[in-house]
Amino acid sequence: QDVCASDLSSGINAEYGMRHKSNANPHKSTLLQFDICEFYPSITEELMDKAMAFAKEHTHLPDDHLQIIKSCRKSVLFNGGKVWCKKGKNFDITMGALDGAEAADLAGLYLLHQVQNLLESEYNGCHCGLYRDDGLIYINKGNGPMLTRLTKDLHHLFKENGLKI
């Protein structure tokens, strides 16, 4: 049975996707938009390992499939009979690669889970959605100091994962 990150996202995304409460007051709600800077090339092997461990907690994911996903991250270029490999760690989420978007989605689901946990524990009435490198947080009854604190917490959370927003 074949598995890919998009299969995982369909099951997990329903749990962590953006939610909206019907009793929310639209006159006091706020939307906070963020963008993950250079998302694809900034996904490290460590972040991908965390994302795969997270996915394994929520769905059946055999170890050989995890190894295949990691093996696909190795970039090799053939030119003029020579083989070129990336310097340092040969790990890359490549935009335009056949599975680059799926790998980024898997990392995104892990990040979405972390953001939603932060919102649920520290910011009552906030919900988050993420599409690739674009995030949107719905804030019910937010104020200036709360938005400042939330922004700092988000920067810290993404920095812990080797990313910038």
For residue 29, what pLDDT is reported?
86
Residue 139, token pair as written in the block: 């804030």
Residues of the chain with pLDDT under 50: 1-24
pTM beyond cutoff 0.85: no
